Chain A
Amino acid sequence: MDLRLTAEERTFRDTFKTWLLANLPEGEHSGRRETDPDYMNAMRAWQKKLFDGGWAGVSWPKEFGGRGASPIEESIFLGELASAKAPERVGVIGEGLVGPTIIAAGTDQQKSEFLPRILDGTHIWCQGFSEPDSGSDVAALSTKAVLDGDHYVVNGQKIWTSFAQIADWCLLLVRTDPKAPKHKGISCLLVDMKSEGVSVRPLRQMSGDSGFNEVFFSNVRVPVHHLLGDLNDGWRITITALMNERANLGSGLYMMFKAAMDELMAKARELTQGGVPLAQNPINRQKIAQAYLELEIFKLNSDRALSQISQNAVPGPEGSILKLYWSEMNQRLVRTAMEVLGDRAQLDEFDQGRWIYRYLRSRGNTIEAGTSEIQRNIIAQRVLGLARSY
């Protein structure tokens, strides 16, 4: 057991930090994707900058234009980006999900058509998985594709699609064999979002912003050479990439939550109640310490999972433990913050409404990317070996 970074890992970190310091755009980097074209342009510019610096697709093999970084190095990369409060990476779905799936299952033509454009930010991707009637049971999806000559004709609806308002392409799961068992009748299509028959409607969340969308497909024609992998093998090829993604998210999320934690501690020292700093109230002290230790243990769990992946090469269902942990932990963290900060935290003018946003947004954490109920099922059935219940 040795938790120090190796010499290579340190070099990787230092090289990236140096680059980041020289290339990070100035100012605060937040905005609303759907309403703010300046923000969008800035995000695209940032993706291009990362690419020019050799920092796009860090974990991709070198032969496909990546940097060949190990899972631990990738985690260092994401952690440094988050701690520098760098702009959101608009290519995150392309780099994290679509690229690795194309590398694993794509044709040579698909590789040369798509991979370079993911890296340089020409193509922004979204993923069309969830549907109104298939959330947790995503394999029951009903958006269908029917072969018509050298095209598939797609009809149906997707929901909770991040980036769809601005995406150029969509990695779409469709039903191609309605008679097969549900996991075996799904195929994966690469769909141009500018195709005729695609329409996008932003979905407004309880926090007021619209990070997600509904996407409608009406007789959308997709050329057969944009089928990814074999026909009816779409579930298998995408699930691997999803599991990879789940395990690697940790360090970026940690830095994001840590920023909130640090802000909370600073506020608790600065603000008073009854003439006493909030940070001196014994109950607040207990709550803050609990939130802090839960956050740090998330980082440790995440590092331990990465260390396991590095040795065994394959991420397992253990990623579910991480997801379950961080989603519920963040909800407790933000709840604690709202309790400690008290009455004032309900106002938009307090910290620019950041706490309200975090508080409301955190409700989605235990729903998105597999609900806590689904994660517990996966842990019970695939890690502990209890019988399937559905």
Chain B
Amino acid sequence: MEFELSKPQQLLQESARTLFQRTCNPERVRELMETETAHDDTLWSEYVDQGWTGLTLPESVDGLDLGVVELAALMEELGRACVPGSLAASTCAGILLNELSSHDIAVSMLQEIVEGKMRAAVALHEEVPDWDPTNVQASLGRGAGQIVLEGEKTLVGGLLGADVILVVVWDENELAIVSVPSSHEGVEIRSTPGIDRSRPLGSVRFNSVTVREDNILGRGSAVECALQRMSRVGAVMACADMVGGMQWMLDAAVDYAKTREQFGKPIGSYQMVQEQCADMLLLIESSRSATYYAAWALSEDAPDALRAVSMAKAYCSEASREVGDRSIQVHGGIGFTWEHDLHLYYKRAKASELSFGDATYHRELLAKSLLDD
């Protein structure tokens, strides 16, 4: 039994850390957060060079064909450096397309995503956000030889700047995924800025958008399975991002506690401050164990993978909020300012907490599997 990252996995993580130290320092993070898309072309081409746009995708589309553990190791570094942009959202789109790869168009889209020629976003949520895809309302209308998409999607990650939107809709009695170019007539995209400016969200309205039959990339149980896979991997990516962010928030608090003096001594010498830091470490290490176990279980298709994902997402969601609260408290006044970088992480943590189901949602999933027949 080996619970640590293997040498190659560590190397991947270290190269990500080095890249972000070099190309994405806090000043750059703030600059990007001022933009609507938070997208950085230079950074994106680094991702393409490293193969990260196809990290878990098969070699047949020039992906690296690595597992969810490697993906988590990478996402932890994105979280640690608070890297802006849509790599995670685009990875979700890639996972979804890969699950639907019996479709030729899906395969050619994957190829373009890996090469960095296309960015895609998955549109699931609607007016009433719900992680259960069977509750979507958007639907395809069929009649007079035409297929028409009608509906509105909200809280779409990676939407602003995406070339293609993968829309979850009903097609008669089946769930389906339709790919719609963002520039298509009748597609109305709106920026919906919120708490986390590092990964902006958007909403999109489809006003009688005509869809070609071959743009329906899949339907029925294939789509349900694909969405499930995406949600599970997405939840683990969010956990890993939170683990990285939590580590940054703890490191910042400990560094500050060692240098900030009050009553003639570093505040880190006082037990009340030490307690905050010790509790943060416990929350982080537990989050890390849960996250990497879930990643491994997904990679191996372990029988308890579903439970492992829900446990990790429920735990990390609350832990990262808690670590953020405590880190601000240890920093005192400076931690509450715009000038300090802490709030960038604090805000990102809140968005991650909510993405792919919050703690309450995942505890109920877990309860279902434990308590219902």
B367 within 8 A of A: yes
Given contacts A288-B370, A300-B293, A307-B4, contact A387 B277 (CB under 8 A): no
Interface residues of B in 243-293 (CB under 8 A from A): 254, 257-258, 265-266, 268-271, 273-275, 277-279, 281-282, 285-286, 289-290, 292-293
Assess A293 versus B364: contact at CB under 8 Å? Given A307-B1, A386-B269, A387-B266: no
Whether B315 sits at the interface, judged by CB under 8 Å, is: yes
B3 within 8 A of A: yes
Q: How far is the CA of A18 from the CA of B2 in the complex (A)?
A: 25
- Complex contact B286–A297 (CB within 8 A): yes
Complex contact A389–B4 (CB within 8 A): no
Contacts of A271 in B (CB 8 A): none
Nearest Cβ in chain B — how far from A290, in angstroms? 6
Q: Is A1 touching B5 in the complex (CB atoms < 8 A)?
A: yes
> A300-B290, A325-B286 are contacts. A3–B296 as well, Cβ < 8 Å?
yes
Of A4, A265, A376, the contact of B279 (CB 8 Å cutoff): A376
> Which stretch of A41-49, A148-156, A201-209, A377-385 is in the interface?
A377-385
The chain A residue with its CB closest to the CB of B285 is: A321
Query: Is B165 part of the binding interface, using a Cβ–Cβ cutoff of 8 Å?
Result: no
B4 with A311: CB separation less than 8 A? yes
Instruction: Give the residues from 281 to 312 in chain B that come closer than 8 angstroms, CB to CB, to chain A.
Output: 281-282, 285-286, 289-290, 292-293, 296, 307, 310-311
Interfacial chain A residues near B279, Cβ < 8 Å: 376
Measured CB to CB, the closest approach of chain A to B249, in angstroms, equals 13
Name the distance in Å between B238's Cβ and chain A's nearest Cβ: 16
On whether the beta carbons of A289 and B277 are closer than 8 Å, the reply is: no
* Contact assessment for A386 and B286 in the assembled complex, using a CB-CB cutoff below 8 Å: no
Q: State whether B1 touches A9 (Cβ < 8 A).
A: yes
Q: How far is the CB of B126 from chain A (nearest CB, A)?
A: 24
**Complex Cα gap A11–B258 (Å):** 49
Q: Confirm or deny: A349 has a beta carbon within 8 angstroms of a beta carbon on chain B.
A: no
Docked-complex contact A301 and B286, CB < 8 angstroms: yes
Task: Please give, as numbers and ranges, the residues of chain A lying within 8 Å of B290 by CB-CB distance.
Answer: 293, 297, 300
- Tell me if B360 is interfacial: C-beta within 8 Å of chain A: yes
Verify if B6 is at the interface (C-beta below 8 Å from A): yes
Q: A3-B3, A265-B370, A285-B364 are in contact. Are A301 and B289 (CB under 8 A)?
A: yes
B282: A residues at CB distance < 8 A: 321, 324-325, 379
* A389-B69 contact, Cβ under 8 Å, with A1-B9, A321-B282: no
Please measure, in the bound complex, the distance between the C-alpha atom of A71 and the C-alpha atom of B175, giving whole angstroms. Answer: 50
B144 beta carbon closer than 8 Å to chain A: no
> With A292-B370, A293-B366, A376-B274 known to touch, is A304 a contact of B311 (CB < 8 Å)?
no
Q: In the bound complex, do residue B367 and residue A285 qualify as a contact, i.e. CB atoms below 8 Å apart?
A: yes
Which residues of chain A are near B265, meaning CB under 8 Å?
Answer: 387
A2 at the interface (CB under 8 A from B): yes
Does A190 lie at the interface of the complex (its beta carbon under 8 Å from any beta carbon of B)? no
Question: Could you tell me which residues of chain A, from 260 to 276, have a CB within 8 Å of some CB in chain B?
Answer: 265, 268-269
Whether a CB of chain B sits under 8 angstroms from the CB of A52 is no
Q: How far is the CA of A131 from the CA of B82 in the complex (A)?
A: 50
Complex CA gap A300/B311 in Å reads 11
Using CB atoms, name the residue of chain B closest to A307.
B3
Q: A384 with B254: in contact, given A5-B1, A325-B282, A376-B275 (CB under 8 Å)?
A: yes
**Residues of the B chain whose Cβ atoms lie less than 8 Å from the Cβ of A297:** 286, 289-290, 311, 315
Query: Does B281 lie within 8 Å of A383, measured CB to CB?
Result: yes
A384 proximity list for chain B (CB < 8 A): 254, 274, 277-278, 281
> Does B176 sit within 8 A of A, measured CB to CB?
no
The total of chain A residues at the interface (CB under 8 A) is 49
Q: Binding site of B, secondary structure by majority: helix, strand, loop or mixed?
A: helix
- Residue A120 CB within 8 A of the other chain: no
Contact A377 B271 (CB under 8 A): yes
- Asked whether A296 is an interface residue with its Cβ less than 8 Å from the other chain, the reply is yes
Residue A115 interfacial (CB < 8 Å): no
Decide if A279 is an interface residue (CB 8 Å cutoff): yes
Contact (Cβ within 8 A) B370 A289: yes
Question: Contacts A297-B290, A324-B282, A386-B257 hold; do A286 and B367 have CB atoms under 8 A apart?
Answer: yes
List A contacts of B307 (CB < 8 A).
296
**Chain A residues closer than 8 Å to B128, beta-carbon distance:** none
B217 at the interface (CB under 8 A from A): no
Partner of B3 from the list A290, A303, A375, A379 (CB cut-off 8 Å) is A303
Once the chains bind, are B371 and A288 in contact (CB under 8 Å)?
A: yes
Chain A residue nearest to B250 in the complex (CB): A384
Q: Is A6 an interface residue (CB 8 A)?
A: yes
Complex contact A387–B269 (CB within 8 A): yes
Of the A-B pairs whose beta carbons lie under 8 Å apart in the complex, a sample of 21, sorted by A's number, is A1-B2, A4-B1, A5-B1, A9-B1, A279-B367, A279-B372, A285-B363, A289-B364, A290-B314, A293-B366, A303-B3, A303-B289, A321-B281, A325-B282, A384-B278, A385-B258, A386-B254, A386-B258, A386-B266, A389-B269, A389-B274
- Hey, which bits of chain A sit against chain B, CB under 8 A? 1-6, 9, 72, 265, 268-269, 279-280, 282, 285-286, 288-290, 292-294, 296-297, 300-301, 303-304, 306-308, 311, 321, 324-325, 373, 375-377, 379-381, 383-389
Residues of B bordering A, CB below 8 Å: 1-6, 9, 69, 254, 257-258, 265-266, 268-271, 273-275, 277-279, 281-282, 285-286, 289-290, 292-293, 296, 307, 310-311, 314-315, 360, 363-364, 366-367, 370-372
Counting from the closest, the 5 A-B pairs by CB-CB distance are A380-B274, A307-B3, A289-B363, A285-B367, A387-B269
Since A321-B285, A384-B254 are in contact, a sample of 14 more A-B pairs with Cβ atoms closer than 8 Å, ordered by chain A residue number, is A3-B1, A268-B371, A289-B364, A289-B366, A296-B307, A304-B285, A306-B3, A311-B2, A311-B4, A375-B278, A377-B271, A386-B274, A387-B269, A388-B269
